[in-house]
């Protein structure tokens, strides 16, 4: 919403949070009617967040949010084609977030969020998780192993970059929390898709709760970082 006042943008972000809670509940219900309603609620999430971005919106943040919206719509369908389309959309989104954080000047090592050992541990866990997701995807379709692993590594790189940017403490914490929340969401989604497709619908609620939280945290953190 170009030209929206700060109060208007705050109202849009609040509406996003309400809609995110509704969509999360619908995802966790597993009822056919709930899935039909999600054809309205889920595609509306990212446009709302995009319109409510704290001004001025960074082009890379906007790119990541638009690509996320494309991924959201793709994943409303089931099957390998939908999964590939969703993965492609979110790969563009992760690249946008990664570039946004990379272009924010790096902090001196002593000032980065969290001690080096913590970031090294996160890198090891994220890389292992990416490889494991790829191996699990191979059980479903061997053609999915490479793109799933590559996407996981891209997401992991984005998360590590988000933990190493320069800016006020609040911005760094928001960006880092958003990136880690995205990692959790995608890990649960990979488990749901490739390991336990028969898992209860409540797991879809976990995916959406962590995903929608990640998006708003990344938006808030990114908007506060140096341009």
Q: What is the pLDDT along the chain (227 residues), one digit of tens a residue?
A: 455 787 888 899 999 999 999 999 999 998 999 999 999 999 999 999 999 987 667 899 999 999 999 999 999 988 888 889 999 999 999 999 999 998 875 545 444 444 566 566 666 766 777 777 777 777 777 777 888 888 988 998 898 888 888 778 898 899 999 999 999 999 898 888 878 888 899 999 999 999 999 999 999 999 888 76
Per the CB < 8 A criterion, the answer to whether 222 and 61 are in contact is yes
pLDDT on residue 79: 82
Asked if residue 128 belongs to a domain, the reply is yes
What are 203-227's pLDDT values in tens digits? 999 999 999 999 999 999 998 887 6
Of the candidates 43, 45, 60, 40, the residue with the CA atom closest to the CA atom of residue 15: 45
pLDDT on residue 55: 64
Asked if residue 1 belongs to a domain, the reply is no
SS3 75: coil
pLDDT on residue 116: 62
Asked if residue 132 belongs to a domain, the reply is yes
Question: What whole-number distance in Å separates Cα of residue 138 and Cα of residue 191?
Answer: 13
For 45, the domain range is 6-224
Q: How many independent structural domains does the chain possess?
A: 1
Asked if residue 96 belongs to a domain, the reply is yes
- pTM over the 0.85 mark: yes
Asked if residue 176 belongs to a domain, the reply is yes
Query: Please, what is the Cα angle at 142 between 124 and 73, to 5 degrees?
Result: 80
pLDDT on residue 76: 92
Enumerate residues 6+ apart whose C-beta is below 8 A from 179.
97, 158, 159, 162, 163, 214, 218
String of DSSP letters for 91-137: HHHHHHHHHHHHHSPBPPGGGSSS-HHHHHHHHHHHHHHHHHHHHHH
pLDDT on residue 119: 64
What are 119-160's pLDDT values in tens digits? 666 667 667 777 777 777 777 777 778 888 889 889 988 988
CA atoms within 13 A on the CB side of 8: 8
Asked if residue 156 belongs to a domain, the reply is yes
Phi/psi class of residue 79: alpha, beta or left (left: φ > 0; alpha: ψ in -120 to 50)?
left
pLDDT on residue 111: 45
SS3 165: strand
Of the candidates 98, 205, 109, 116, the residue with the CA atom closest to the CA atom of residue 156: 98
């Amino acid at each position: 919403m170009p030209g929206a006042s700060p109060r208007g943008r705050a109202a849009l972000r609040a509406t996003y949070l309400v809609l995110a809670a509704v969509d999360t509940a619908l995802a966790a219900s597993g009822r056919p009617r709930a899935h039909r309603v999600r054809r309205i609620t889920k595609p509306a999430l990212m446009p709302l967040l995009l319109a409510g971005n704290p001004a001025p919106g960074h082009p890379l943040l906007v790119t990541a949010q638009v690509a996320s919206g494309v991924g959201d719509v793709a994943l409303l369908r089931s099957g390998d084609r939908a999964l590939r389309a969703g993965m492609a959309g979110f790969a563009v989104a992760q690249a946008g977030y990664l570039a946004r954080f990379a272009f924010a000047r790096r902090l001196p090592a002593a000032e980065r969020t969290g001690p080096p050992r913590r970031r090294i541990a996160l890198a090891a866990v994220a890389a292992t998780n990416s490889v494991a997701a790829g191996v699990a995807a191979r059980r479903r379709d061997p053609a999915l192993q490479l793109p799933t692993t590559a996407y996981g590594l891209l997401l992991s790189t984005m998360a590590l970059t988000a933990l190493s940017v320069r800016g006020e403490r609040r911005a760094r914490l928001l960006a880092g929390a958003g990136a880690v929340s995205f990692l959790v969401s995608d890990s649960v989604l990979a488990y749901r898709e490739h390991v336990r497709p028969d898992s209860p619908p409540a797991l879809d609620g976990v995916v959406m709760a962590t995903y929608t939280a990640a998006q708003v945290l990344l938006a808030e953190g990114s908007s506060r970082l140096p341009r």
